[in-house]
């Protein structure tokens, strides 16, 4: 009787250790997921601001008015923001590039996916028709 009780006392300590190990693993998994979601939230917030700026720039070009916007001051949350504009045959394309936080330089081409990775590119491109609508 005494021998069986001693063996059971060790097994309950082992069960507690396994339970704590599982709890620690689950906690690390949840924290990793939260960190990934935070990075995606920041990237998507930058992308939304870039879309708003590209739309504003396109609307300004369509209105044919003089630009009084200081674009450097309009982009405080987009590090290293720059604008490229191209026109051809009455159509125009405005592209907003920025530097992603914690990443190297943005790819030059504004593709949906950065080259060779599954990370979103740090740019948006908006096509529009030049001049006022008929």
Structure-token pair, residue 121: 């590119």
| DSSP 8-state code for residue 81 | -
Quick: pLDDT tens for 9-20.
678 888 999 999
Helix (H) or strand (E) holding 43: helix 2-63
The number of beta carbons lying within 10 Å of the beta carbon of residue 42 is 14
Helix (H) or strand (E) holding 84: strand 82-88
Q: Are 124 and 95 in contact (CB under 8 A)?
A: yes
Quick: pLDDT tens for 84-96.
888 877 788 888 8
| pTM (two decimals) | 0.65
């Amino acid at each position: 009787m005494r021998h069986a009780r001693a063996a059971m006392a060790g097994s309950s300590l082992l069960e507690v250790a396994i339970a704590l190990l599982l709890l620690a693993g689950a906690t690390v998994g949840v924290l990793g997921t939260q960190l990934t979601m935070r990075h995606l939230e920041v990237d998507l917030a930058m992308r939304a601001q870039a879309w708003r700026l590209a739309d504003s720039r396109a609307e300004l070009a369509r209105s044919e008015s003089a630009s009084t916007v200081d674009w450097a001051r309009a982009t405080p949350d987009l590090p290293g923001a720059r604008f490229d504009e191209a026109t051809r045959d009455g159509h125009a394309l405005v592209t907003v590039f920025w530097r992603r936080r914690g990443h190297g330089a943005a790819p030059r081409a504004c593709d949906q996916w950065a080259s060779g990775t599954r990370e979103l590119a740090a740019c948006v491109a908006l096509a529009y028709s030049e001049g006022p609508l008929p």
